Every structure is written in structure tokens, then in C-alpha cells.
Structure 1
Amino acid sequence: MSKVALITGGNGITGSAILEYLVKNTTAEEWSKIIVTSRSPFKTTVHDERITFIALDLSNDPATLVEKMTPICAEVTHAYFSSYVHKDDFTELNKANEALFSNFLDALITVSPGLQNCTLQTGGKHYNVHIRPVPSPARENDPRSACPIGNFYFPQEDYLLARQKGQAWTWNVIRPEAIIGHTLKPNGMNSALTYALYFLVCKYLGTEAPMPTNQRYWGGYDDLSDTRLVADITIWASTSPNAANEAFNVTNGDFFCWRYMWPRLAGYFGAHASSEQVFKLPTPEEGALQQEFRLAEWAADKKVVWDRICDESGCPEAKGTWESGTWAFQDWVFQRTWSATLSVNKARKLGWMGHVDSYEGLTDAFERFVELGLIPPLKAVGPQT
């Protein structure tokens, strides 16, 4: 029997990737319908007769969601949850995102009697890599550790397992790290786009493009999760009997050192950064937070420069992209003094063999930004005259 997908967060960086994966890699005989939902108006880079959009605000109570979902979602067999709502206060953030998932799952179970699988996307923050040094690489069976600011991934996952107990449908949890991809809608954690903006401005100004971090993060080892792999493992896990009722980390499958990756990325754009970057601040202790300079401060007066770049390169429609730069988010990441990687051995042992070279994953994203008109063609951006 053909399957019916329901993807939440359809405008997001992974929700849109799952949609794109199903459109490009499956037939109508395999997946007869692809239902996409988001709170904001739907924007997509792919088109397919199987796509149906339904506007849902998952902060609504389950009864309200049931009423809206029933006419469209009754035949759903596979649900993919990748929604997120941001709140500056951590208590509010955790509470809001817990409710977001529980509301959705309660409504889904009521509306879709033929449900076969529900997959929840969380991430590397499950291991608290965002707040302190942790064993690296982190593995799925590592015991949970308490988080002083709370971690809504835990109650989301617990609720999924509790609601599935005794049911015919299966569950999966997917945990990516440092997601790299593209989306038409602004995304609060789209690092690749921020790198592109930074390097292009440095190229245009003819200035060095140092990495705004510290000696420990600069010299440590990191990994990334390409959205194409996130989508691939999500569909694999949710449709493979031997992967049922399991959580899986997902990364590109390689490790790299920013000391060598950063200059390589700068060179791709025609900017300059050195692997022998000199740091003025002393080497911090592991676990501390430190940056040579803050990207948010650097970017504060660069909007006029970006506008000039777009005009001179014949790409004025890209001016609005500047507002999608995740400057504060990158500061939050680059201030760390520890490395945090995820093991993908569990998925490998069960047969998933996805892999993307991290440099190629980043440059592929850069190329897509050009194709989508988010940044000018790289050759069109030269030093200012």
C-alpha cells in the first residue's frame, strides 16, 4: 500500500528537506500524498501534484487541531515532526515546545487511525553539547544529564514513547548536529548562509576574514549534518522494520578541524583567512566562553555594504537576505571552548550508509543560495572600487 506523509515545519530547514527528498526520490505508487503544514504561509522550492498544504498552529489545543486536521490528515501513515517555536526565556521556550509536540501527537493519533510511524526530530542538544563539554562523540545510549536551563527534547521524547506504548505504530527520534542546508524562509540556525554573507562582505571590503572564536574551538574537531542526510535517514528509519522504535544520531560521517576548514571556505568565496590565525586573547580554560570578536557587533554596520554588493553585482533582490544572517546564533556557537561530535555507528550497524563530505555539503548549500537568488553569483562580487 502507498504511504501518506505529514511533515510539520514545512518552511523550516529540515521540514523542507524532507519534502524535497520525497518529491525527488519517491513515486506516487510509494507515497501517494505529501501533506505539509506550517504556521506561516508555505514557500517551497519543489512542486509536485502530491503536495497538500494545511496551515496549522500547533500551539492550539488538540481538539482544535483535530477539527482542522480531520478533513485532510485521516489517511496519514507517516508523520514527521520538525517544528520549533522560539522564546527568549528558557522556561517559556521549554514549555512552548513541549506543548507544540504533545498537542500535535494527541491530534495525530485521533485523526489518523492508519498511522504506521511518527518520527520526532530533536538534535545534538539532547546531549547538552550547547552548554558544557560532554563525552565526544556522543552516542544514543549515553545516559541523560541534567540541564540547568531545561531541555525540552527530553519531555518530547518521553511523551512520544509513552503515547506509542501498546500501539501498532512505531516511533523514531532523529538527532542531527549543526544543520547545513537551504530554505526560502529565514531560519534562525542556518549557519551556511551566515558564513556566505560574512565571507562575501570581507571579500568586497578587501579585509581579512578571521573566524570569531577562540583557540580551543579553532583547533578542535567538529561535525555537521547536511539536510539531505537528515531527510534520508528520517525516511529510512521510519520505513525500515529493523530501525523501528530507535533514536539515531545523524551527521555527515566525517570530522574536520575549523583551523583548516575556515580558510578553505574563505577561499571558495575569494576571501582570505589563514590557518595560522593569531589570537589576542589568552587560551581559555575548557568549559569557559570566549570570542576574539562578536559577529553580531561586526555585522551591525554592514547592511549598507551588503546593499552595495547586491546593487553592483546586479542582484538587488538579495538585499533582504542580510536580515536572515544568524549573527547572534553563531556567536553562541563560536564562543564554546569544547568540541562536540556525534557518533553515527548505530545507524551504520543497521544498514544506513548515508555520507556527505562536509566541505562539499557547505559549498552545495552556497550554490543553492545563488540559484535561489539569496546571494549574488560569487564571480559577480569583486573588491570595492
Structure 2
Amino acid sequence: MARKHVLVAGASGLVGYAAMKHFAQEGVQVTAVSRRAPFETFGARFVAADLCDADQCGALFGGMGDVTHVVYAALYERPSLISGWQDREQIDTNDRMLRNLLEPLLKAAKGLRHVALLQGTKAYGAHVRRIDTPAREDRSEARDVANFYWNQQDYLAERQRSQAWSWTIFRPQIIFGQSFGSAMNPIPALGAYAAVLKERGEPLYYPGGPSNVLQAVDADLLARAIAWGGETEAARNEAFNVTNGDVFMWSGVWPAIASALGMEPGPARPRALAETMSGETALWDEIRAKYGLRAPPLADYVGWSFQYADYLMAYGAKAGDKISIVSTVKIRQAGFGEAMDTEAMFRKWFGLFRASKLLPP
């Protein structure tokens, strides 16, 4: 069998970065592709590429004949994050990006064995309505809601038909991990918000709305699930929900988050982070200079994740609007049974960001 060579698309993003790190640290040959360079590469070969450029993709991926596994974690989001999820241009762009990568690669990589594709709970319509509790892969899909997931999934299934390689789709819940500048990573968003409060000598006020029941997934755990899927017959051409294995409410984990950031938890003070944190850029720059942080200016550090944090914490919503629970029975029965305590996950990532000088010590 040919040596394993993993192509990770979207390597500077939340999931792609975790996958690149996992495979590279396992000693696997990794080619990491994204528009901007990842924070670290862990020994992976990095290639800058724009997946919207079909000619560039044809030349690049048409020359990667030894790729055996693809982790497709690339994502195009609109600046207006939440409303963009149903935008036709956003849907068409994400559809085109996957095709631009796979069409030349499928012609070149005759030893291709697996393609992993990322979705999420928008597959169940979580961004537009209350979903089934719990949402299940085989009965809860929201095919009536416009979503680039279906374009990509149908394309992948069609191209795989009668081929030796297989695909696996992963549907994680809220992902937490190490990346910055991403559209949907709550860690830098909450970390920057906390740093501003801490610098002013204030406690960590909860800025959201109703503390609803949610699920999280650690990015490293998700990366291990992706690696499992690429080598497991039971994962062949299947879709799986992935979570840490527990549930959480912001009110329950808020003390652990505050503790991980060296702060005291404060009472609820609703605040639209996407609107108000733009006024904290100068203070963030002072914090960066004071503590010698490696973190970039606020907009580059957080990306559009303040919008995402407001959405997750139900700012301005009514109680019950953000209940989002999925079943993970299918992936456990297929053989992937890892779990992680979500409180411990928050401590892990905020601790790592502080140790990496991405947040104040």
C-alpha cells in the first residue's frame, strides 16, 4: 500500500489546523493548503492556494498524484456571518471550491483512499429553526433549507459512485480549538473580551442571553475522529455527528471559563460583542504590547467570531431558541467512542492560548 499522504484544505482554520497538527505529529506526510499560512505547521508542507481560482487549483492539485487522503475543511463565509448562511453566492462559492480541488486531484491521485468532509448542525436546520431532539443523521436532515452542504455532499457522492475511494461526512457541534482569524472560533472571541475586562479590573460578565442547552466538540478530538474515519470500513460513505459526549449550559461552564482566564465570574450583563468590541481595538493593542503577545490586531485575531459568539450565547434571543442536541449513537456504534469533559476542554484551550502568548498570562 502506498505511503499515506494527507492533503488538508483549510489548514489555517479551526478544523484544518487541528487535523494538520494531528497527522503531522503522527509522522504522516501532510500537505497543508490555505490562503494564509497557519500559526504553526508541525512539519507539514504548506502551500498557499485560493480554492476559488480554478486555474491555480488545476495546476496545483493536478500535480499531487501521491495523495491518499483528503481532509476538506475549507470554508467561505460572508462578512455578515449569520445571514450569509443562506446566501446563494456563499452556497455557490463553497460548492465551486470543493470541485476546484477535487476535479484535478481525482484525475491525478489514482491511489486516493478517502475524503473527509465537514458539515455541522446546519444540516438539521439549526440556524433557522428548532431541530429534532436529538437530531439524527438518518432522519433529521433539513434538505428543505438552502445550504451548501447539500451541493457538496451530492457532488461527492456522485463522483465517488463505483470508485474504490470513500468519503465520510462529519457533523460536529460547536467546535473549540486553536486558530485565530476564523469565522467561527469562540475561544479568541471570548478570550479577547475577557482580556479587556481583566485589564480594567472587572470580573468576567456573561454577555449573552438565555443559557440554553448545547453541545461542544474539542478540535483535537474531532481531528482524531477524522483520522479514524479515513481508516474504518464502518465509516465508508457515512455521515456522523460528533460531540464531546456531554452537554453544557453557559451558566454552568462560566465559572470554569473565568478560572481558566485567571478571573472571577461576574453576573450577566448582556452585550452584543460584534457591535461593542470594535471599540476596544486600541485597548487590545495596549494589552498586546504590555504582555508581548503574539496575537495580531483584534480584527485579524477574532475574524467574525464575535458574531458567532453572540449567536451561540443567544444574545437578544428568547429562552429555548438555541437548544441544539444531536445524537452521537451512530459514530459510537461504528467504533469511535472518545469523549471529553467540556469544562476540561475550556480549561485546556484557554490555558494553551495563555501559554502560547495569544492571551495575557
TM-score, normalising length: structure 1: 0.83
Larger radius of gyration: 1
Deviations 1:114-161 (A, max 9, x none): 11111111112111112221112221112422555x211111111111
- Do the aligned partners of residues 202 and 322 (structure 1) sit closer, same or farther apart at CA in structure 2, a change above 3 Å counting? farther
Q: Which runs of 5+ in 2 are unaligned?
A: none
Are 1:356 and 2:340 an aligned pair? yes
In structure 1, the residue matched to 2:195 is 200
- Do the aligned partners of residues 243 and 345 (structure 1) sit closer, same or farther apart at CA in structure 2, a change above 3 Å counting? same
- The match for 1:249 among 215, 226, 241 is 241
Are 1:298 and 2:276 an aligned pair? yes
CA distance, structure 2, for counterparts of residue 6 and residue 247 of structure 1: 20
Deviations 1:329-373 (A, max 9, x none): 222332352211222111111111211211221221112212332
Are 1:180 and 2:180 an aligned pair? no
Deviations 1:62-101 (A, max 9, x none): x652332233x10111111110112345111111011111
CA distance, structure 2, for counterparts of residue 46 and residue 316 of structure 1: 19
Are 1:141 and 2:138 an aligned pair? yes
> Could you tell me how far 1:203 is from its partner in structure 2?
2.4
Are 1:372 and 2:356 an aligned pair? yes
- Do the aligned partners of residues 105 and 70 (structure 1) sit closer, same or farther apart at CA in structure 2, a change above 3 Å counting? closer
- The match for 2:76 among 62, 81, 85 is 85
CA distance, structure 2, for counterparts of residue 47 and residue 146 of structure 1: 39
SS of the residue corresponding to residue 263 of structure 1 reads helix
Deviations 1:218-263 (A, max 9, x none): 1x21111111011100010111122211111111111112212123
TM-score, normalising length: structure 2: 0.89
> Could you tell me how far 1:172 is from its partner in structure 2?
0.6
> Could you tell me how far 1:272 is from its partner in structure 2?
3.2
Are 1:327 and 2:324 an aligned pair? no
> Could you tell me how far 1:302 is from its partner in structure 2?
2.1
CA distance, structure 2, for counterparts of residue 268 and residue 167 of structure 1: 48
Conserved in 2, the CA contact under 8 Å of 1:66 and 1:107?
yes
> For residue 102 of structure 2, what is the amino acid of its counterpart?
L
Deviations 1:249-303 (A, max 9, x none): 11111111221212331233233335xx568xxxxxxxxxxxx431123313222
Q: Which runs of 5+ in 1 are unaligned?
A: 280-291, 378-385
Are 1:52 and 2:53 an aligned pair? no
CA distance, structure 2, for counterparts of residue 372 and residue 227 of structure 1: 17
In structure 1, the residue matched to 2:95 is 98
In structure 2, the residue matched to 1:18 is 19
> For residue 259 of structure 1, what is the amino acid of its counterpart?
S
- The match for 1:345 among 317, 329, 332 is 329
> Could you tell me how far 1:23 is from its partner in structure 2?
1.9
CA distance, structure 2, for counterparts of residue 269 and residue 64 of structure 1: 43
- Do the aligned partners of residues 202 and 244 (structure 1) sit closer, same or farther apart at CA in structure 2, a change above 3 Å counting? same
- The match for 2:185 among 183, 186, 190 is 190
In structure 2, the residue matched to 1:266 is 258
Conserved in 2, the CA contact under 8 Å of 1:321 and 1:375?
no
> Could you tell me how far 1:317 is from its partner in structure 2?
4.4
The within-5 A match list for 1:229-244 is 229-244=221-236
In structure 2, the residue matched to 1:8 is 9
> Could you tell me how far 1:207 is from its partner in structure 2?
2.9
Q: CA RMSD in A?
A: 2.2
CA distance, structure 2, for counterparts of residue 368 and residue 316 of structure 1: 13
Conserved in 1, the CA contact under 8 Å of 2:205 and 2:265?
yes
In structure 1, the residue matched to 2:218 is 226
In structure 2, the residue matched to 1:113 is 110
- Do the aligned partners of residues 241 and 369 (structure 1) sit closer, same or farther apart at CA in structure 2, a change above 3 Å counting? same
CA distance, structure 2, for counterparts of residue 304 and residue 60 of structure 1: 36
> Could you tell me how far 1:113 is from its partner in structure 2?
1.0
SS of the residue corresponding to residue 67 of structure 1 reads helix
Conserved in 2, the CA contact under 8 Å of 1:117 and 1:169?
yes
Percent of pairs identical after alignment?
Answer: 28
SS of the residue corresponding to residue 248 of structure 1 reads strand
